[in-house]
Chains A and B, each alone.
Chain A
Amino acid sequence: EAQVTQNPRYLITVTGKKLTVTCSQNMNHEYMSWYRQDPGLGLRQIYYSMNVEVTDKGDVPEGYKVSRKEKRNFPLILESPSPNQTSLYFCASSSTGVTTNEKLFFGSGTQLSVL
């Protein structure tokens, strides 16, 4: 089954403790992206990747890092989490990300709480 898998589903941590949220897709997609969703703000893009070893900032990249060493994986790294990063995070992928008429496939989300 074609899917985007995120882990963990829920995560509670404390300020400053480094964490990684994993994302994997099994559709051989070149494009992958991370979003955060906050009440009333919709989804905002954090980082995206057009292919292996190619990443770029989205609208709200501060405090986050990503890597794309393999085509299927796109982990989101919070080196020193802060309470304002408490949010619902989604990973997404699409075939190439180049043309708008591609569908974005989303994972089920990771609810992160930073205390």
Chain B
Amino acid sequence: LAKTTQPISMDSYEGQEVNITCSHNNIATNDYITWYQQFPSQGPRFIIQGYKTKVTNEVASLFIPADRKSSTLSLPRVSLSDTAVYYCLVGDGGNNDMRFGAGTRLTVKP
């Protein structure tokens, strides 16, 4: 299983762009990269998933360089409600191949 490394915490201010980088040096050829968001007292929620280059949806963008050894979740113009823990996961064997680490705790300040 590919292991991921993320910063434990990050602080930002409202209106700023936030980039959270995840390192996955041992990513396998067939692995996808998936990000989840967890608000306090709630279960994680799928944000975005990608395999290579760039993926964008209504919530975030995911940038994946050519070597795929890292990925960056980009949240444009964050608000206070974006305060949450963000998890980066890699795997290819279905949901049993996915491991949630400690995640990155993002705090958005006014």
In the bound complex, residues from chain B placing their C-beta under 8 Å from that of A31 are 94-95
A98-B94 CB under 8 A given contacts A40-B102, A42-B100, A42-B103: yes
A104 touches B94 (CB 8 A): no
From residue B59, how far is it (CB to closest CB) to chain A in Å? 13
Chain B interface residue count, CB cutoff 8 Å, equals: 25
Q: Which residues of A contact B (CB under 8 A)?
A: 4, 31, 33, 35, 40-45, 48, 56, 58-59, 90, 92, 94, 96-109
Task: Report yes or no: B31 in contact with A103, Cβ–Cβ below 8 A.
Answer: no
A101-B32, A101-B49 in contact; A48/B96 too (CB < 8 A)? yes
| A109 and B42 contact, CB distance less than 8 A | yes
Q: Is there an interface contact between B95 and A97, defined as CB atoms closer than 8 Å?
A: yes
Q: Which residues of B contact A (CB under 8 A)?
A: 31-32, 34, 36, 41-46, 49, 87, 91-103
Which residues of chain A are near B44, meaning CB under 8 Å? 43, 90, 104, 106
Contact of B43 among A44, A101, A107 (CB under 8 A): A107
Evaluate contact between A106 and B95: CB separation under 8 angstroms.
Answer: no
Q: Is the CB of B43 within 8 A of A109?
A: yes
- Asked if B94 and A97 make an inter-chain contact with CB atoms under 8 angstroms apart, the answer reads yes
Contacts of A45 in B (CB 8 A): 96, 99
Q: Is B87 touching A106 in the complex (CB atoms < 8 A)?
A: no
Is the pair A35, B32 in contact by a Cβ cutoff of 8 Å? no
A100-B41 contact given A31-B95, A42-B100, A48-B96, CB 8 Å threshold: no
